Amino acid sequence: MSLKWIHIAWLTAQSFVYHYPLFMSYLWMMGAALFYLRYERDDPPFTEPRKLADPPPVSILIPCFNEGAHAEETVRHALALDYPDFEVITINDGSRDDTGAILDALVPKYPRLRVVHLARNQGKALALRAGALLARHEILLCIDGDALLDPHSAHWLVRHFVENPDVAAVTGNPRIRNRSTLLGRVQVGEFSSIVGMIKRAQRTFGALFTVSGVITAFRKSAVHQVGYWSPNMLTEDIDITWLLQRAGWDVRFEPRALVWILMPETLRGLWKQRLRWATGGAQVLRKNVGVILSPTQNHLWPMLFEAVLSFLWSYLMLAVVVWWLLGLVLPAHTLPTTRSPLIPNWGSALLGGTCLLQFAFSKWLDSHYDRGLGRNYFWMVWYPLVFWLITTAATIVGYPKAYLIGKGQRARWTSPDRGAHLKVDRKKAAAKAEDTGHG
Amino acid sequence: MADDLIINARRKLGWRRRILSDVTTFLLWVTWLYLWMPVWRKLRHVIHIKLRLEPAAVEVLQTVDPISLKRSLVALVGTCALLMLWTLLPKRQVTHAHAITTLDDYASAFNLPAETISASRHSRITTVHCDDEGAIIGLDRRG
């Protein structure tokens, strides 16, 4: 009898492994379609935002750690913002390279620019906290040290704060700049179909799992009320999103607020980044699992439920793979047979097909903001095969890692590689320096 | 503007690397299309026997996924509707959303003199000193 139940449970688990991503993919597409109809369709093009009658001033915060290669370009783009009243505050988080000197040299050239140096490296969360304290304005627009802000983004973000005093944060739409390698090109599609689509759907369903740390505008008073970004979280952006929503604030997504970012183009860099995201997500889940006992936090329950199911899915996927591998080495009929979840068959072709349909839909959605996405579609066939495995593996490793990291341990991290073009350029520069004797 | 920001240094990568990624991606597409062979065969079969469109579609979809299409749609639309209705439930609302934190509030929270914070907010270059716990303990203005 018990063997029968074990068998039924095993079949259910296998069915869940197959059907869960399929179901979620269609749910995200429906949610994103509803978002488009409700919030996106009737607005003017992103380059022509409706001007606000009385736009509140904005402080742009740019935390930088060892960003010597990008700091000036980032600052120049931030200063080119098409907005009536703003200041740019760069926060040099105790960089060991020439970031501090580069930023100081820019101050006399640009009246709107201010520089905050942290005497010692403290991590992004505390750098943002220092920037918020010294910001003159109530709206903080936070971007990363290598992110290039679109000139119209502030208008799109700020309108939400003007419309509704309950809005504490509005996150924008990161677009990937480096598209040289296979990994870079797959991530372009991923940011539309996974990041952009899920944020659209989550907004339709009432709450966001996370803002994008690379572009989010915050209401300073709200951030102050919830105690700022936590220095102990590997993903301070997920943490602040939950803190604000738990306090009853509204967090929104604005697809027209663009920022151009660099992503890793090596497997090592990608793994490092995904592991940090998974570990940070697990830390936040652990911290917030208690909302399930609070009826006033019911708006966060569906998101918590989805996070738990995703976690469960990753481990069941691992179990199915292990079971299949054992079945290959053990004598026949020792274990009930199971198909390989890794070697594609026509069932997984449907899953892959759904994934490609999701890409096609998201590319259409984001083609309003990022041209040439269609050309990128050729590369997306890799996503269901390789990226899913990387993400699943990162979740499997990240969750126990989150428990091993002490609760009070300070989270410090450096960005992974920023694309193959920099490596190529560095090689060329080194060769040139050797030729000219400046090596 | 966006076109200037996109970095495509593909030509700078070695030709071997470029060919490898192009060919493997193409082969992956071919493999993926090949996996759909049972569906194409069934489709050819239902066209051949001139079956009506609706039962033919059902027949093909059953090949792809044994769970009924009708049940899947009900589950999907039902979940979507339930999640949207869920947003209408009473939930925690933020209190004092209109209140703006004052300089004195910041001074009290950070345990720093209000004058120092105010002066640093008008300084072009500031150095922030923190203790081992990360708490801000001093602000030095340089310009």
- Per-residue 3-state assignment (H helix, E strand, C coil) for A138-156: CEEEEECCCCEECCCHHHH
The answer to whether residues B82 and B107 belong to one domain is no
**What mean pLDDT comes out for the span A309-323?**
90
Model confidence at A433, in pLDDT bands (50, 70, 90)? very low
Q: Do the beta carbons of residue A154 and residue A86 sit within 8 Å? A: yes
Q: Closest Cα of chain B to A260: distance in Å?
A: 7
Among chain A residues, CA nearest to B79: A27
- Cβ-based neighbour number of residue A329 at 10 Å: 7
Q: Does A378 touch chain B (CB under 8 A)?
A: yes
Distance between CA atoms of residues A410 and A370, nearest Å: 37
Enter the ipTM: 0.86
Bigger pLDDT: A2 vs A304: A304
Q: Are A405 and A279 in contact (CB under 8 A)?
A: yes
In sequence order, what DSSP letters do the residues of A65-96 get, joined into one string? SS-TTTHHHHHHHHHT---SSEEEEEEE-S-S
Residues 58-97 (A) with a CB less than 8 A from some CB of B: none
CB neighbours of residue B13 within 10 Å:
17
Read off the tokens for A139. 């709206």
> What is the band of A425 on the pLDDT scale with cuts at 50, 70, 90?
low
Do B61 and B125 sit in the same domain of this protein?
A: no
The predicted model scores a pTM of 0.90
Could you say which of A378, A410, A419 has the minimum Cβ distance to residue B134?
A410
Type of residue found at A105: A
C-alpha closest to that of B140 among B131, B124, A72, A297: B124
Question: Same domain, yes or no, for B19 and B76?
Answer: yes
Query: Of how many residues is chain A composed?
Result: 439
Task: Look over chain A and give the mean of its residue pLDDT values, rounded to a whole number.
Answer: 88
Residue A205 has pLDDT above 90, yes or no: yes
> What are A342-387's pLDDT values in tens digits?
665 666 777 888 888 998 999 999 998 988 788 888 998 888 877 8
Q: Show the domain range for B123.
A: 103-142
Query: Are the C-beta atoms of A386 and A232 separated by less than 8 Å?
Result: no
Contacts of A53 (CB under 8 A, 6+ apart): none
Instruction: Looking at the structure, tell me whether residues B20 and B72 fall in a common domain.
Output: yes
Domain identity same for B23 and B81:
yes
Yes or no, beta carbons of B31 and A344 under 8 Å apart: yes
Q: Is residue B93 part of a domain?
A: no
Distance between CA atoms of residues B120 and B137, nearest Å:
13
Residue A207: count other Cβ atoms within 10 Å of its Cβ. 22
Q: Cβ-count burial of A384 within 10 angstroms (0-12 exposed, 13-18 middle, 19+ buried)?
A: buried
- Please answer whether residues A73 and A103 qualify as being in contact, where contact means their C-beta atoms are separated by less than 8 angstroms: no
Q: Do B28 and B70 belong together in one domain?
A: yes
pLDDT beyond 60 at A6: yes
- Do residue B33 and residue B73 come from a single domain? yes
Cβ atoms of A222 and A168 within 8 Å: the answer is yes
Say how far apart CA A130 and CA A89 lie, in whole Å: 10
* Element spanning A429, H or E: helix A420-436
> Which residues in chain A are closer than 8 Å to B13, comparing Cβ atoms?
180-181, 420, 424
Residue B98 located in a structural domain? no
Nearest to A149 by CA among B48, B130, B2: B2
- A150 vs B contacts (CB less than 8 Å): 1
pLDDT value of position A239:
96
Say if B95 falls within a structural domain: no
A:181-240 residues touching chain B, CB 8 A cutoff: 181-182, 204-206, 220-222, 224-225, 231
A418/B contact by beta carbon, under 8 A: no
Are A378 and A217 in contact by the 8 Å Cβ rule? The answer is: no
CB contact under 8 A, B28 and A180: no
**Higher local confidence (pLDDT), A425 or A102:** A102
The most distant pair of C-alpha atoms in chain A lies apart, rounded to whole Å, by: 80
Burial (CB < 10 A; 0-12, 13-18, 19+), residue A212, is buried
Residue B109 lies in a domain: yes
Cβ–Cβ below 8 Å for A114 and B125: yes
- B124 and A115 within 8 Å at the Cβ level: the answer is yes
User: What pLDDT, on a 0 to 100 scale, did the predictor assign at position A140?
Assistant: 98
Q: Going by DSSP bridges, is the β-strand pair A86-92/A113-118 parallel, antiparallel, or unpaired?
A: parallel
Per-residue confidence (pLDDT) for residue A9, from 0 to 100:
80
Q: Are residues B73 and B122 in the same domain?
A: no
Nearest to A151 by CA among A23, A47, A235, A2: A47
Compare A347 and A26 and report the one with higher pLDDT. Answer: A26
pLDDT at residue B67, rounded to an integer = 66
CA nearest A226: which of B92, B113, B40, B38? B92
Residues of chain B contacting A262 with CB distance shorter than 8 Å: 7
Cβ atoms A179, B7 nearer than 8 A: yes
**B92 with A248: Cβ contact below 8 A:** yes
* 3-class secondary-structure state, position A125: helix
Question: Are B121 and B77 within one domain?
Answer: no
Three-class HEC string of B59-120: HHHHHHCCCCHHHHHHHHHHHHHHHHHHCCCCCCCCCCCCCCCCHHHHHHHHCCCHHHHHHH
Q: Pull the structure tokens for residue A59.
A: 């402080």
> What is the widest separation between alpha-carbon atoms in chain B?
87
Chain B environment of A151 (Cβ under 8 Å)? 1
pLDDT band with cut points at 50, 70 and 90 for residue A80 = very high
Quickly count: other Cβ atoms within 10 Å of residue A331's Cβ.
Answer: 6
Task: Check whether A217 has a pLDDT greater than 70.
Answer: yes
Is B23 in the same domain as B72? yes
> Residue B4's pLDDT is what?
83
Kindly report, residue by residue over A221-278, the tens digit of the pLDDT.
999 999 999 999 999 999 999 999 999 999 999 999 999 999 988 889 989 999 999 9
B110/B136 same-domain check: yes
Q: Which residue has the tokens 């640009």?
A: A110
The predicted structure's pLDDT at residue A348:
72
Give the model confidence (pLDDT) of B46-87 as tens digits.
777 776 777 777 766 666 665 677 788 899 999 999 999 999
Amino acid identity of B47? I
Is B129 part of a structural domain of the chain? yes
* Distance between CA atoms of residues A24 and A45, nearest Å: 30
The pLDDT value recorded for residue A295 is 93
Considering only CB atoms, A346 lies closest to which of B25, B36, B129, namely B36
* More confident of the two residues B56 and A24: A24
Q: List pLDDT tens digits, range A142-193.
A: 999 999 999 999 999 999 999 999 999 999 999 999 888 888 888 888 887 7
Between helices B114-121 and B103-110, what is the axis angle to 10°? 110
Residue B113 lies in a domain: yes
Report the SS3 class of residue B26. helix
Residue B92 maps to a domain = no
From first to last of the 143 residues of chain B, give the pLDDT tens digit: 567 888 888 888 888 889 999 999 999 999 888 888 877 787 787 777 776 777 777 766 666 665 677 788 899 999 999 999 999 998 888 876 677 889 999 999 999 999 999 999 999 999 999 999 899 999 999 86
The fraction of chain A above a pLDDT of 70, given in percent, is 89
Stretch A216-221: mean pLDDT: 97
Q: Comparing C-alpha atoms, which of A263, A262, A250 is closest to residue A217?
A: A250
The string of pLDDT tens digits covering residues A27-73 is: 999 999 999 999 999 999 999 998 899 999 999 999 999 999 899 99
Residue A115 pLDDT > 80 = yes
Contacts with B, A 239-268, CB within 8 Å: 246-250, 258, 260, 262
- How close does chain A come to B27, measured CA to CA in Å? 10
Q: Which of B87, B111, B133 is the last residue of a domain?
A: B87
Question: Are residues B127 and B77 both part of a single domain?
Answer: no
- pLDDT for position A302: 95
**Predicted pLDDT of residue A436:** 38
Domain assignment present for B3: no
Query: What's the number of domains chain B is made of?
Result: 2
